[in-house]
């Protein structure tokens, strides 16, 4: 689902390297997922929509008590607002 969201430019990952570089948007490990993206409200809204769709289709629930947003060069106030929208901790 994330691959489709990225493919349709609804979620933009983070570019690593100079020139062409490599775009990283998500890494999956068993039942865990690490999402990597630029700071943008579009990314947060897209992520929220994907979570809702995932829960409806799979009849599973995302455990937000175990979910966390981590900042890299992002103001804490923005991170707190984004985590409130996603119902997870900072």
Query: In the prediction, which pLDDT does 63 show?
Result: 84
Residue 8's pLDDT band, with cuts at 50, 70 and 90, is very high
The answer, yes or no, to whether residue 50 has pLDDT greater than 80, is yes
Q: What are phi and psi of 14, to 5 degrees?
A: -115, 130
Query: In the prediction, which pLDDT does 16 show?
Result: 86
The domain total for the chain is 1
The predicted-structure confidence for 19-33, as pLDDT tens digits, reads as follows: 888 889 989 888 888
Q: What is the domain range of residue 37?
A: 2-86
The answer, yes or no, to whether residue 86 has pLDDT greater than 90, is no
Query: In the prediction, which pLDDT does 59 show?
Result: 94
Query: Is residue 56 a contact partner of residue 4, using CB atoms and an 8 Å limit?
Result: no
- In sequence order, which residues have a C-beta less than 8 Å from that of residue 48 and are 6 or more positions away? 85, 86
Query: In the prediction, which pLDDT does 57 show?
Result: 94
Stretch 77-90: mean pLDDT, rounded? 81
Q: What are phi and psi of 40, to 5 degrees?
A: -160, 145
């Amino acid at each position: 689902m994330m691959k489709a969201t990225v493919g349709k430019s609804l979620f933009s990952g983070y570019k690593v390297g100079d020139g062409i570089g490599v775009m990283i948007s998500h890494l999956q490990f068993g039942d865990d997922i690490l999402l990597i993206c630029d700071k943008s409200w579009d990314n947060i809204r897209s992520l929220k929509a994907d979570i809702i769709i995932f829960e409806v289709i799979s009849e599973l629930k995302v455990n937000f008590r175990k979910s966390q947003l981590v900042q890299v060069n992002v103001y804490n106030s923005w991170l707190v607002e984004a985590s409130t929208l996603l119902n997870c901790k900072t």
